[in-house]
Structure 1
Amino acid sequence: MINQLIFTLCFVSAIILFAKNARQIYKNIKIGRALNRNDKPAERFKTMLLVAFGQKKMFKRIIPAILHLFVYIGFCIINIEMIEIVVDGIFGTHRFLSFLGGFYNFLIASFEWLAFGVLLGCIIFFIRRNILHLKRLNSPELKNWPKTDANLILITEILLMTAFLLMNAADQKLQLYGESHYIIAGSFPISQYIISFLPSDPSALILIERICWWFHILGVLAFLNYLPYSKHLHILLAFPNTYFSNLKPKGELTNMESVTNEVKAMLDPTFTPPLSDQPIRFGAKDVQDLTWKNLLDAYTCTECGRCTSSCPANITGKLLSPRKIMMDTRDRLDEVGKNIKANGSFVDDQKSLLDTYITREELWACTSCNACVEQCPVNINPLEIIIELRRFSVMEESQAPASINTMFGNVENNGAPWKYSQMDRANWTSQQ
């Protein structure tokens, strides 16, 4: 009874704590500007199925895609067993789903193969990151905490899968010994090879099985509550993020409503812009000026670096890293969220996303090619954030690189980006 009470307390506390953290993330995302992404539900659902569930864009790089598929499917399906663990923990039963008979044996066997796949995938990912030192997994923005975060998750998953297989091995040996409470149930294609390494003393086996059982369940609950602080939050947010993807062509930029209203007022004296109690803002200076979808993107970022490794600016040595843009946005959003939580409303902290987190050199290195958007496995759009920060810099502050200002002057004076007048544009055709 004491074990059941302890388990129930741990389980309920973990769920409440996760709900609290999830609510804070939701409130942070709602800081962003409104945006309607409820159109074309059928197309959106299809996108989510292909990209989030089907891992479609992962297969642009086949080896990490296969390894990730092992981890993704294995981790999702193995957690079905959590249903049985939770029921056993609350009611003091043992393998209560065993009444399913042959199907239960199939389930346990499947879980073991999947656990082995997760274990293998995580070990290879750990080697790629820490021994082979793949460039995109060891960029400057991944130093310190981001690198530690990634390794913590990999090590945790390795330990959880090891504990799962050890638990089954000890359980199977206790079944063979005919120990009470350990009913004959399950099929163990992987853990059967571990049995010979376990002690023969039933009390020692029970201790191993119980330790692994508690480690597995408490590890999963701890992992659940670690997600809000980790890049692995994409495990949950990838699905809504892909559902609310931008379905328009990638090269199509959005029109700013504030600019559209200004133009309408100039062309039509009878037009009255809609009233708003908020000051007109062109572009974005801070996270409050971005849309909620931009902020959801930031929380969904997997930090995989496919965007940065495909960015032509980054490849040629420029300062821009699309991955860093998303990481900086998430860090600033967390900071603003804490500010609002502490003060009731946002109190100016003399910081902003632009300049404090993201430099102008990064912004203007972007070629707007959409390579980062195309490569992202969960349909994140760093370019939207870059464009909005650029718009603020140009339209609110009149700050742009000299070459950009020269182009603006040429467009204003000559009707084209070039320095030649309209009358001289065709002169090159007469040159020999």
Structure 2
Amino acid sequence: MSLLPNIVFVILLCIGGGFFVYNLRKLIRNIRLGKPENTSNHKKERLKNMLRVALGQQKMLVRPIVAVLHIVVYVGFLIINIELLEIITDGIFGTHRAFAGLGASYNFLIASFEILAFLVIVSVVIFWVRRNILKIARFQKTELKGWAKRDASNILYAEMLMMTLFLLMNAADACLQTLQVPNYIQAGAFPISQWLQPLLQNLPINILIIIERTCWWLHIIGILCFLNYLYYSKHLHILLAFPNTYYASVGPLGATPLNPDVTREVKLMLDPNVDPFATSQDTPPPDKFGASDVTDLTWVQLMNAYSCTECGRCTDECPANLTGKKLSPRAIMMKTRDRLEEVSRNIDKNGSTFEPDGKQLLGDYITAEEVWACTTCNACAEACPINISPLGIIMQMRQYLVMEQSSAPTELNTMMTNIENNGAPWAYNQADRTIND
């Protein structure tokens, strides 16, 4: 038997795997551009969150019909790809259905794979109809134009194609088994592809072999392409949903992290024993308050940006967006990822060093209008199916605007001035507010 197909297969596997490792290393590098964040605490609670939210998809169940369809695609795609083990074994060693020796268990597995493949196709068609015919409102927002819209459709087409190739391959294989063609051993059960067999049963043996082999090769090539396409797609959440839910904050949603530099200064101001004009050599002032670019954010926030599924549930629940404001929490995450990718390309171009490009996240990607439209209600974080918090990024940029640029809405500046002068947000001193008995 010729070893050429096996050699070609191994080469394709190495190329596909090599590109995947390259993209994975770049992804990790980009995430590490963020500032440190302590996530070593509450390990048991984090693990529970990951199993409950990422694996169990608990937050998806808020919308039951969509949740069931998504679970079918998610579980179906993962389980069907267990067959990759057999495909890789056959490709390397030149065997055919290497796991057929499992007997009845093998038949059960192949039958289960086929049923799941069919359910995935049905679910994907429904998703496509929702996006392109029913035009569900959250899929028609401004941020989903252009590449974002094409990306969603590309994945649906790819999933449909791979599942169809799988079923057509099995149909041709079953016909060849019926004809007792050498190398096509009697193995597998085909509850779905059996309906395709009548379309193929009158074809010559050589044509059936070509169909079966073509589907086999296209299936594995499609999976390798899909694996490397993930880095450029919103479907990167397939890989990042688990670490993202593990490292997400375990505290109350309304608990805004304190800036340690500000906290230290306030404590010094309130300490009567400290010289207010003294400077501390042990704690130099921070380079910047808040965040104006992606490198000012934490690595968890950057991972959030890559993990975003662009489902729009956050924007769907945002009261600012619902009342016509420019703010869209989904757009905040998408723009953060876009800027991070621009920084990544800059680093690649300049030999692992970032050269200032005159741009930043705040201003060039996210406007101050969007930042100040947020009500900080945390509806976006509550709605996100993988525990992303756009509010964290918004609050960091607000801090930069206020503390670095003294730029805030007039109403907020007035309130802060009143607090500084009167100890309250109102323009009345304490004596005027005293209630006399």
TM-score if structure 2 supplies the norm length? 0.95
- SS of 1:96's equivalent in the other structure is coil
Q: Which residue of 1 aligns with 2:400?
A: 392
Q: CA deviation at 1:199?
A: 4.4
Correspondence list, 1:121-270, <5 A: 121-200=123-202, 201-266=204-269, 267=271, 268=274
2:100 corresponds to 1:92: no
Q: Report Cα offsets for 1:97-144 as digits up to 9, x if no partner.
A: 011111111110111111111111111001100111111011100000
Change in Cα spacing, 1:401 to 1:189, as seen in structure 2 (3 Å) is same
Residue type of the alignment partner of 1:224: L
Deviations 1:29-66 (A, max 9, x none): 00000011011211111110000000010011111101
Matching residue within 377, 385, 408 for 2:385: 377
Give the 3-state SS of the residue equivalent to 1:319 in structure 2.
coil
Residues 250-298 of structure 1: CA deviation (Å, up to 9, x unaligned) = 000111122123334443459946456x952110010111000000000
Partners of 2:283 and 2:110 lie apart in 1 by 62
1:265–1:271: 8 Å Cα contact kept in structure 2? no
What is the identity, as a one-letter code, of the residue corresponding to 2:184? Y
Aligned residue identity for 2:299:
W
- Between 1:205-214 and 1:292-301, the stretch displaced more is 205-214
Q: Which moved more, 1:55-64 or 1:342-351?
A: 342-351
| Segment drifting more, 401-410 vs 42-51 | 401-410
2:362 aligned with 1:359: no
Note if 1:55 corresponds to 2:62. no
Residue matched to 1:328 = 335
Q: Is the 8 A contact 1:265 1:273 kept in 2?
A: no
Task: Tell me how far apart the structure 2 counterparts of residues 69 and 310 of structure 1 sit (CA, whole Å).
Answer: 22
- The verdict on how the C-alpha distance between 1:20 and 1:107 changes in structure 2, with shifts beyond 3 A counting, is same
The match for 1:313 is: 320
1:44 aligns with 2:32: no
1:198 CA drift (Å): 1.6
Aligned length: 428
2:302 counterpart residue number: 295
Q: For residues 273 and 38 of structure 1, what CA distance do their matches in structure 2 show?
A: 29
Deviation at 1:371, TM superposition (A): 0.2
Counterpart for residue 415 of structure 1: 423
AA aligned opposite 2:19: L
Per-residue displacement from partner, 1:8-47 (whole Å, max 9, x unpaired)? 1001110011100110110000000001101121111111
Q: Output the CA distance in 2 between the equivalents of 1:8 and 1:299.
A: 31
CA RMSD, aligned part only? 1.7
1:106 aligns with 2:108: yes
Give the counterpart letter for 1:371 in structure 2.
A
Q: Give 1:352 shift.
A: 0.4
| CA drift at 1:317 | 0.3
Match of 1:31 among 27, 30, 33: 33
**For 1:223-274, what per-residue CA distance to the aligned partner results, in whole angstroms no more than 9, with x for missing partners?**
0000000000000000000000100110001111221233344434599464
Q: Distance in 2 between matches of 1:271 and 1:65?
A: 57
Kept after mapping to 1: 8 A contact 2:168/2:215: yes
- 1:404 is displaced (CA, Å) by 1.0
Return 5+ residue gaps in structure 1 as ranges. Answer: none
* One-letter amino acid of the counterpart of residue 212, structure 1: C
Shift of 1:370: 0.2
Preserved contact between residue 264 and residue 271 of structure 1 (Cα < 8 Å): no
Q: 1:375 to 1:38 in 2, by over 3 A?
A: same
Instruction: Using the TM superposition, give the Cα deviation of residue 218 of structure 1 relative to its aligned residue in structure 2, in angstroms.
Output: 0.3
**1:53, 1:159 → 2: CA distance?**
25
Q: Distance in 2 between matches of 1:273 and 1:42?
A: 39
Q: CA deviation at 1:2?
A: 0.9
User: What is the CA deviation profile of residues 310-363 of structure 1, one whole-angstrom value per residue up to 9, with x for unaligned ones?
Assistant: 000000000000000000000001111121222232211110000000000000
CA distance in 2, matches of 1:120, 1:183: 30
Between 1:156-165 and 1:257-266, the stretch displaced more is: 257-266
Q: Percent identity?
A: 54
| Structure 2 stretches lacking a partner, 5+ long | none
User: How far off is 1:158 after superposition?
Assistant: 0.3
Q: For each residue in 1:72-103, what CA deviation from the matched residue of structure 2 results, as whole angstroms up to 9, or x when unmatched?
A: 00001111000000110111100000111111
Distance 1:273 1:104 in 2: 70
Q: Which runs of 4+ in 1 moved over 6 A?
A: none
> What secondary structure is seen at the aligned counterpart in 1 of 2:99?
helix
- Find the aligned partners of 2:363 and 2:381 in 1 and give their Cα distance: 23
Distance 1:257 1:356 in 2: 28
TM-score, L = length of structure 1:
0.96
> Take 2:243 and 2:210, find their aligned partners in 1: how far apart are those partners?
42
Aligned to 1:284: 291
The residue identity in structure 2 corresponding to 1:220 is I
